[in-house]
Homo-oligomer: A and B are copies of this chain.
Amino acid sequence: MENACIWNWNYWLRGVRMKEIKVGLIGFGTVGQGLAEVLFMQQERMPKRTGMRIELAAIADKSAKALPERFAHIPLVQNGQDVINNPDIDIVVELIGGIEPAKSFMLAAIAAGKHVVTANKALLAQEGRDIFAAAAAKGVCVGFEASVGGGIPVIKALREGLVANRILSISGIMNGTANYILSRMTDEGIPFAEVLAEAQRLGFAEADPSYDVEGIDTAHKLAILMSMAYGMHITHREVNTEGISRIEPLDIELAREFGYRIKLLAISRNHGDHVEARVHPTMVPQDHLLASISGAYNAIHFHGDCAGNILLYGLGAGKVPTGSAVAADVVDIARDIACGSIGRVPPLSYLSDQFTPRRITPMDELYGPYYFRFTVLDQPGVLASIAGILSEQDISIESVIQKGRKESGGAVPLVIVTHAAQESSVERALARINTLEAVTAPAVKIRIFEDE
């Protein structure tokens, strides 16, 4: 048989020395250690599945002094460049995170003709265009399964499993820390700051939590998924991003009364010539699967024109789960090396010259239902004047709750859920309502999730 891969197996089955793929790792932090763990745990299973041995042949870490005993046989160097320069290395895995020196290492590895794998969503969301262009020009692979959804094989599902689909929408919970905090706030009615502080104590949240709680990390991931789903160039800067730090227990409690849970969602709807790109706290109907994703789990939902609704659920972070995704990329590339099929699947799912620019839908043009919480003096006529302003802007009210409970200065919360309305009209209405004398605090606005 003139067939590279089956030949390669028979080769091995005939007892000839098995093909070995050598992996060089730059960055021995949490995920780097996770990859080493995974390759160690799977070292006997891998040859049975791939006909190859996957060997972690070099580790670079600028601070690590020594490796755990079971990895002690692996050469440890300080400088990533030493791994890149190592002629034995087939695949360079970058797991240091951040933009620099990560980008320089990636580009140097590509220039050296190495295939590269990364979990670095910030780097791909910001500098991905340079990296993918360099890799395509050099004819090497770029693996990034671990950059979105941790251990969930979401990149492969979107690129290959859903290849026969026009993606109509993407939505999901893509940051476990933010979801953990919202879940605790929801289940226990604790304020944001308190849960965050505890999460930091427990190590679930970074010392600087802004990437997680302000939605930036989620925006990185949405940008990566959008570029693959639509075949367009987009950075996280083009994603309209709003975090959860201003969510109050009161809104979570009122959301429940209306049948919603508040989640930090990434949302992109495909309107053809323009596509939505937004990350913000969202009211999700209690019976929707995304509402029941709690704790540190992630869930990513695609709506394909052929497959329909697809949801992928799993651990969005963590040492070994993320290592599992990195290892899957390494195996994929190892198979392409063994079969001489590098570039078999375009990394971003569309051929690089087939990317088409699309306008990002301005938030003003969004159209959907809203939750408003007004803080108003408990006096006659307030609801009438607010309702009047809303109707002037063609915003029709679905339901209202006025709470008797007094807050500071005799003010009470007035909650209104609307039917679908245009965000620009909503902004105009809220601006006017905030000027009313009986309104003692700026209105709270939370968008309500609409499933296709």
Contact = CB atoms under 8 A, between A and B. Distances in A.
Interface in A303-358: 304-315, 318, 320-321, 323-325, 327-328, 331-332, 335-336, 338-346, 349-351, 353-354
Contacts of A160: 153, 156, 328, 331-332
Given A3-B342, A344-B341, A307 B325 contact: yes
Interface stretch (A61-69, A163-171, A275-283): A163-171
A435 interface: no
14 contacts: A1-B139, A3-B139, A39-B164, A41-B306, A48-B231, A48-B354, A152-B161, A153-B162, A156-B160, A161-B325, A307-B324, A308-B315, A309-B314, A335-B341
A9 interface: yes
Given A321-B307, A343-B3, A164 B38 contact: yes
B331 A164 contact: yes
Copies of this subunit: 2
Interface of A: 1, 3-6, 9, 13, 37-39, 41-42, 45-46, 48-51, 136, 139, 145, 151-153, 156-157, 160-166, 231, 287, 289, 292, 297, 304-315, 318, 320-321, 323-325, 327-328, 331-332, 335-336, 338-346, 349-351, 353-354
B321 A308 contact: yes
B166 A343 contact: no
A357 to B, nearest CB: 14
Given A42-B166, A163-B331, 15 more contacts: A4-B340, A4-B341, A5-B342, A6-B343, A9-B351, A48-B354, A49-B163, A51-B351, A156-B161, A297-B309, A306-B327, A307-B314, A307-B324, A312-B313, A335-B341
Contact of A310 (B152, B306, B354): B152
A8 to B, nearest CB: 8
B306 A344 contact: no
Contacts of A344: 5, 335-336, 338-339, 341, 344
B339 A151 contact: no
Contacts of A49: 163, 231, 346, 349-351, 354
A318 B325 CA distance: 30
A321 B318 CA distance: 33
A449 B306 CA distance: 33
Given A289-B292, A324-B304, A5 B350 contact: no
Nearest to A307: B151
Nearest to A159: B49
B42 A164 contact: yes
A36 B310 CA distance: 21
A340 B341 CA distance: 7
